[in-house]
Amino acid sequence: MKQESLESRMRALEYFHDLKLLPGAWAIVRVDGRSFSRLTSQKFEKPFDVRFHNMMVKTTEALFTELGAAYAYTESDEISLLFAPSWDFCDREVEKIVSLSAGIASAHFALASGVPAHFDSRIWMGATTAQVLDYFHWRMSDASRCALHGWCYWTLRNEGQDARQASKVLEGMTRSGKNELLFERGINYNDLPLWQRRGTGFLWETYQKEGFNPQTGQHTTATRRRVKIDETLPMGDPYRAYLTTLVESC
């Protein structure tokens, strides 16, 4: 019997290495801060702290540019990155995409915050643009639900209720009930910053860069692209229309 080389036997046990993103499908990578409830419990304002948000924005921008995403979205401690069907980063190898995205996020958040921080990472696959729109609608709904709940919860806690009491008050309460709870205390949910209620988007925009060619003595213009950070995302159908334009240009 022919003996397989040590090299090929060992390579074969890198069992998941051949796993790749589905050809021709949309991919979304979502990274999420590990145990960020603990990480944020001492030094950050609740339910939202603009310093924490800015660290997430910096982390998202790094992932967006480093990986060449078509769109990115961040809310709370999570970041979703959309990749076009033609994206061929690392030959679409799942292990590389998952580990590098978690690594890039962890490194940049740790640099921004000055403390060690870890992110996990997962992949979502979509066959159609309609599924992509549903995905981002889903994450924005999550942002909105958590923002309303978080504001109610911490308002009650700040009034002196303990964790159990505040959770009990909010258990089963409707959206309008929660809005009312805040309103009675002088907080209009609809006046809170949009980044808290809807999250933040990242897209590419093109611009004309003026230059000068010293050899020909001529002024030049070149089309360049830069990251646009959108803190005033639309919601519902206008958000779907916004994303449709974006995905159709991919």
**Residue closest to 60 by CA, chosen among 43, 47, 77, 85:** 77
75 binds, among ligand GTP, Mg ion, none (CB under 5 to 8 A by kind): none
Check binding of 34 to ligand GTP (CB under 6 A). yes
List the structure tokens of 195.
């980044």
Are 200 and 182 contacting, i.e. CB atoms less than 8 angstroms apart?
no
Nearer to Mg ion, 31 or 70 (CB): 31
72's enclosing H/E stretch is strand 71-75
Residues between 131 and 150 with contacts to ligand GTP, criterion CB under 6 A: none
Spatial separation of the C-alpha atoms in residues 201 and 231, rounded to whole Å: 7
Asked if 36 touches ligand GTP (CB under 6 A), the answer is yes
Q: Which residues of 190-217 are buried (b: 16+ CB within 10 A; e: fewer)?
A: eebeebbbbbbbbbbeeeeeeeeeeeee
User: Considering the rule CB under 5 A, would residue 126 count as an interface residue with Mg ion?
Assistant: no
Q: Tell me which residues in 60-119 interact with ligand GTP (CB under 6 A).
A: 76-77
Residue tagged 């009491």 (tokens): 165
159 contact partners, CB below 8 Å, separation of at least 6:
none
- Given the complex with Mg ion, which of 37 and 190 has the nearer CB atom? 37
**CB of 36 or CB of 242, closer to ligand GTP:** 36
Minimum CB distance to ligand GTP, residue 209 (Å): 35
Size of the site for Mg ion (CB under 5 A): 4
- Residues at the contact surface with Mg ion, assessed by CB under 5 A: 32-33, 36, 77
- Residues at the contact surface with ligand GTP, assessed by CB under 6 A: 32-37, 40, 44, 46, 48-49, 52-53, 76-77
